[in-house]
Amino acid sequence: KNQVEQSPQSLIILEGKNCTLQCNYTVSPFSNLRWYKQDTGRGPVSLTIMTFSENTKSNGRYTATLDADTKQSSLHITASQLSDSASYICVVSANGGSYIPTFGRGTSLIVHP
């Protein structure tokens, strides 16, 4: 069964600090992994998308890594800002004709001033 596990479930950090969110998956055969940011009451917004051959990708202060061998990904947020407070969702898609992605439950990040 395809699964995506995210940790921690929630995280509170001070403004300006860095943090790292984790995503482990069992989706196979692997196609791509996406990180989304979802503000409360809004639709998720794509941060990064990574394929099998990519092991790091940055989008501003967000840097995603992918280890396809261990089936792990991380999202590193540098110099956090109050506006980073949101849910971060890891989504993994499989190859083979199915477009249905597997969603993680998300990590709720709160940045305090």
Partner 1 sequence: GAVVSQHPSRVICKSGTSVKIECRSLDFQATTMFWYRQFPKKSLMLMATSNEGSKATYEQGVEKDKFLINHASLTLSTLTVTSAHPEDSSFYICSATAGSGNTIYFGEGSWLTVV
Q: State which residue, 80 or 93, has the beta carbon closest to partner 1.
A: 93
Q: State which residue, 75 or 91, has the beta carbon closest to partner 1.
A: 91
- Please give the Cα distance from 64 to 22 (Å, whole number): 10
Shortest spacing between CB 11 and partner 1, in angstroms: 14
Residues binding partner 1 (CB under 8 A): 31-32, 34, 36, 41-46, 49, 51, 87, 89, 91, 93, 95, 97-101, 103-106, 108
The encoded tokens of residue 62 equal 């967000």
Q: State which residue, 56 or 98, has the beta carbon closest to partner 1.
A: 98
Shortest spacing between CB 19 and partner 1, in angstroms: 19
